[in-house]
Chains A and B, each alone.
Chain A
Amino acid sequence: MSDEEESPGRVAIGISFGNSYSSIAFTTSEGKAEVIANEEGDRQIPTILSYVEGEEFQGTQAKAQLVRNSKNTVAYFRDFLGEDFKSVDPTPCHQSAHPKEHEGTVAFSIRDSEAESENTVTVSEITTRHLRRLKNSASDFLGKQVNAVVITVPTNFSDKQRAALKKAAEDAGLEVLQLIHEPVADVLAYDARPDAKHADKNVVVVDVGGTRSDVAVIASRGGMYTILATAHDYDVSGAQLDQVLIDYFAKEFLKKNKGVEDPRENPRSLAKLKLESEAVKKALSLGQSASFSVESLSGGIDFTATINRSRYELLASKHFQSLKRLVVHCVEKAELDVLDINEIICAGGNSHTPKLSRSLADEFPPTTTVFAPTLSPTAINPNELAARGAAIQASLVEAFDTDDIEQSTHPVVTSTPHLAHAIGVLSISGDEKGAGVFTLMIEPETPVPVRRTAHVAVPREGGDVLVKLCEGVREIKVTKPEAKPKTNGANEDEDDDDDDDDDDDDEEEIREKVWKAGRVLAEMAVRGTKKGSKVEVQVSVGAELDVQIIAREVNGKGGTRGMLDKPAIAQNGSV
């Protein structure tokens, strides 16, 4: 502890720490998050460390070592943190240092010093070294010593994993202000844009990384975020997309070079094939075709070839299909319909792939905005989302005491009742029938307390009006297309149209989202409204679900107010 002098204060950054790549970001004095390039100019820094004669390399330089020095190169280790050896999947490490069991945790045997012998280095220690390099890169860039951090983690990171990451970061000289969920950081990065509107919305974050895909359905209500469902898949990811290209180029090579060893059978050839295939994949995100070129791919033979984007999309289509299924499954798990989804945020490096985001968009109605580089001019680089979100959060909490942050992130504060149903008022529909229709004021899954205000039109002549507050139930209205007589051959009976429900898809049914009034909560009168005026309805739901309602003519005096009691409490449990 320093004695009398002022504490030097925190210099905080955001880190996105993936199995494949890491990024560092900071928030400028104007409050804008920016991703920092390291000494090599990389903003996506491969999460890889490699040792050559005791010298440590990180990032792109370490990745290049996968060809010649794979045994002393450690890659794809993030998910091993805080895990037992028995529960980790070592598959991603086939072409680099292999994980092994060490005193209940995971470690690597590598020659990381000048000595000939190997050392056992735990995954915690590797993480500390990696984070230290990231910290130093950020410090160099900012011109001051970074000492605090917000790091993003997957939504299925266990408490043990979080604790291990925290410890590893602290060992690197970084105070961990907070660990935040990756998809939430992604949403925050979008919401922090100066022109962002804080409408209530349901957002799906689709993160397609190098070794895994993660989906989260998030209720965003007045700038607060609640995860409704998540899904994870380790069989749909960048590695599988790379594999499509690895197989394609290996086969092309063998066609041209009969009798030569398959480059996939030789570790060094495979490593070259893999690096170049990933580069080709990235090039295909921008261009309609890309060229592949490796010196001495196998049997001493150089190989160059080209591939066009549509060929790649065709070869990879089954992976795009699996990803679509994963996303739809997650929406269903959240007990929502695709029609309930307002936004999709495509995150993770593979979201640059045009076909990937386009095929996702096809699964959702046109009312769903898809944020991906090829679909939206305002999309943020999917590689940078998590780091930016972390940097924004770091700037929000860096001035707080550690205790304060801890208390605020404690379940006592985060565990919150969420509305089971929508709340709204009955209006009169525009059609001739003039029937009552439910008009939404507060979305379901909104955390309480919450307050929302609506300005509702009055009937043409004004006068005394009824404000009827109800809960709303969302229904999906399905309209079957008119059964068309078959065009070919004899006109078949039309009365068999009941049994061809799951027929072909040339006539798609029309699905719409409609709100129906459910439980009536209250009725109130607002008297003597003026022609053309509006009635302001304010609904405040308290922390215990008590409700206060105020209705008055906009700019008018008085008005009507009333209260609803909180629901009866279940018998068990104290109040």
Chain B
Amino acid sequence: MAAITINLPLPVLPEGWSAEKDFKAISSLSPATQRNVEPVGPHFLAHARRKRHKRTFSEDER
């Protein structure tokens, strides 16, 4: 999908903020809900191909 544009600006980095390599991991995602994707449409076929061949998005793009 194309990049989305967000016009509201990011905040200024607070004074004194620091982290190793400028990245602070705080929490993992919440647990997901298991659901069935409908096996229909061109995008599902790409999803199925990735899943069956255990490929990532970028590998798939090659």
Contacts and interface: CB of A to CB of B under 8 A. Distances in A.
A535 B3 CA distance: 11
B41 A541 contact: no
Interface stretch (A36-44, A102-110, A218-226, A349-357): A218-226
A431 to B, nearest CB: 10
Contacts of A459: 9-12
Interface in A199-237: 218, 222-228
A225 B33 CA distance: 15
Given A465-B11, A465-B13, A523-B26, A225 B44 contact: yes
A516 to B, nearest CB: 15
Nearest to A419: B32
B13 A427 contact: no
B8 A188 contact: no
Contacts of A523: 17, 19, 23-24, 26
A225 B41 contact: yes
Nearest to B7: A457
Contacts of A563: 25
A455 B3 contact: yes
A375 interface: no
A454 B6 contact: yes
Contacts of B45: 396-397, 408
A567 B30 contact: yes
Contact of A453 (B3, B22, B37, B56): B3
Given A224-B43, A457-B7, A521 B29 contact: yes
Given A408-B45, A421-B30, A456 B24 contact: no
A427 B8 contact: yes
Interface residues of B, number: 47
A223 B28 contact: no
A571 B59 CA distance: 32
A525 interface: yes
Contact of B41 (A228, A396, A430, A458): A396
Given A224-B43, A224-B44, A451-B57, A464 B35 contact: no
Contact of A420 (B28, B30, B37, B51): B30
B62 interface: no
A389 B47 CA distance: 19
For B3, B21, B34, B57, the residue with the greatest tally of chain A CB atoms inside 10 Å of its CB is: B3
B26 A520 contact: yes
Given A456-B6, A519-B30, A223 B41 contact: yes
Given A227-B36, A408-B45, 20 more contacts: A181-B38, A184-B41, A191-B41, A198-B1, A218-B38, A224-B37, A224-B41, A224-B47, A408-B52, A413-B48, A415-B35, A419-B32, A427-B8, A445-B33, A459-B11, A465-B10, A521-B27, A525-B22, A527-B22, A567-B30
Interface of A: 178, 180-181, 184-185, 188, 191, 198, 218, 222-228, 389, 392-393, 396-397, 407-409, 411, 413-421, 423, 425-430, 436-437, 439, 441, 445, 447-449, 451-460, 463-468, 471, 519-527, 534-536, 540-541, 543, 545, 547, 549, 560-568, 570
18 contacts: A184-B38, A184-B41, A222-B1, A228-B35, A413-B47, A419-B32, A425-B10, A452-B4, A453-B1, A456-B9, A466-B14, A519-B30, A523-B26, A526-B10, A562-B25, A565-B28, A566-B29, A568-B28
